[in-house]
């Protein structure tokens, strides 16, 4: 469906009426088209139940639509990962570590863009740095921090970290 076929005032009115019937305090003030779809502006942060109500008001002809809160980035690291493969003493690479992290609580789509860094030239451990697409409150990162995962039969801890604008070794 083309953007010109959608009446934004009509969508806003329909969503506000439905929110009012559901006794939700949320009110949509305005809407505008963006490159990723339609953005609604509200005076307060909606609850998940509010998002579900707004999504239900979207016309069926808007295919593949979903209503979500804006995302931000959070940062975590998996520490004390064995840098060398257990049997060969060859350095592990990012792909091998990524494959071992698949059963961990970290979302698979976040793992594939992570960086694996050798801690020190003479160290036998490395750190896996992961940028997470997260909610504004950092809910995903908060749920992962403190969790553990097994890599090369070693128990590794997930910790929070700050943004690493250059080399992650600088943190």
Q: Domain ranges in the chain?
A: 3-57, 71-170
The average confidence (pLDDT) of the chain is: 81
Domain boundaries 71-170, corresponding CATH code = 3.30.70
Beta carbons of 91 and 83 less than 8 angstroms apart = yes
Residue 171 is predicted with a pLDDT of: 35
- Residue 139 pLDDT more than 50? yes
131 pLDDT exceeds 60?
yes
Nearest to 24 by CA among 5, 4, 2, 51: 51
| Dihedral pair phi/psi, residue 113, rounded to 5° | -110, 10
**d(C-alpha 151, C-alpha 99), whole Å:** 10
The predicted pLDDT at position 37 comes to 74
Instruction: State the alpha helices, DSSP H only, in 87-153.
Output: 94-101, 108-111, 139-144
Tens digits of residue pLDDT in 71-80: 778 889 999 9
C-alpha 84/C-alpha 108 separation (Å) is 23
Backbone φ and ψ for 99, nearest 5 degrees, come out as -60, -40
pLDDT tens digits, one per residue of 15-46: 999 999 999 999 998 888 776 678 888 878 78
Q: Where are the alpha helices (DSSP H) in 58-163?
A: 94-101, 108-111, 139-144
In the chain, DSSP assigns E strands to 28-34, 37-42, 71-82, 115-118, 125-135, 148-151, 154-160
Evaluate if residue 168 carries a pLDDT over 70: no
């Amino acid at each position: 469906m083309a953007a010109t076929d959608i009446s934004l005032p009509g969508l806003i009115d329909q969503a506000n009426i439905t929110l009012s019937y559901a006794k939700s305090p949320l009110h949509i003030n305005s809407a505008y088209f963006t490159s990723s779809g339609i953005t609604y502006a509200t005076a307060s942060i909606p609850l998940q139940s509010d998002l579900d109500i707004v999504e239900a008001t979207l016309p069926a002809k808007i295919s593949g639509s979903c209503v979500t809160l804006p995302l931000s980035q959070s940062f975590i690291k998996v520490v004390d990962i064995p840098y060398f493969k257990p049997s060969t003493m060859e350095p592990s690479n990012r792909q091998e570590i990524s494959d071992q992290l698949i059963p961990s609580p970290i979302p698979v789509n976040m793992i594939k863009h992570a960086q694996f860094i050798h801690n020190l030239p003479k160290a036998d451990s490395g750190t896996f740095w992961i940028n997470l697409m997260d909610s504004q409150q950092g809910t995903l990162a908060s749920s992962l921090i403190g969790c553990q995962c097994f890599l090369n039969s070693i128990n590794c801890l997930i910790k929070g970290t700050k943004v690493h604008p250059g080399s992650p070794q600088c943190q």
